[in-house]
Amino acid sequence: MKLSFCTAAATLFFSTMGVMADSTYTAPDPADSSLGLLTSLDGTYGVVIEDYSESYYRKAKRDFSNVETHCSSAGALEVTLDDGVLTDAAGRIGSIVSNNQFQFDGPPPQSGYIYAAGWGVDDDGILYLGENDDFYKCFSGNFYNLYYESIDDEACSTVQIKLVNLTDC
């Protein structure tokens, strides 16, 4: 099941602080180069959340050639990836904060953040943090939050975050 980020916007909490990035953000151990991840992309991309598929396989290409295209809509999350830092259209930094939740803040990232750099993407658009491409969609009331680690085996399911081209439809 795919959730466009315009419908899954409630999965992330956003703050509205400044807009300057910092190249000294903490990152996990770098991904093995055999994964062929890109840490910078030209342009802006949308985000979709996909339930984890065991049939997904990794390729060692660096051309971002298999990225999907989705219709753009009002409120869709648009991001850029530059030197391992993920930034939204408001200039906020994509980070994993102290409770392992994935969110956009700042800059700088929320105080006590765990990671705010080390993002990469494969040629299918799957987003990685270091070598990790598994994230967790955890039910919270009537919406979902995204996490770097599962916080509850019953309320969470494994997902992948995918960057997609956006087009007007």
Dihedral sign, Cα of residue 161, residue 165, residue 166, residue 168 = negative
What is the C-alpha to C-alpha distance for residues 93 and 81, in angstroms, rounded to an integer?
Answer: 10
Write down the pTM of the prediction. 0.74
Tokens of 22: 């910092």
Greater confidence, 81 or 38? 81
Structural domain range at position 15: 2-167
Whether pLDDT at 137 is above 70 = yes
- Taking only the tens place, the pLDDT of each residue in 69-88 is 878 888 888 999 999 999 99
CATH code of residue 95:
2.80.10
Residues 6 or more apart in contact with residue 77 via CB below 8 angstroms:
5, 6, 9, 12, 46, 47, 88, 89
Beta bridge partners of 104: 14, 94
The number of domains in the chain is: 1
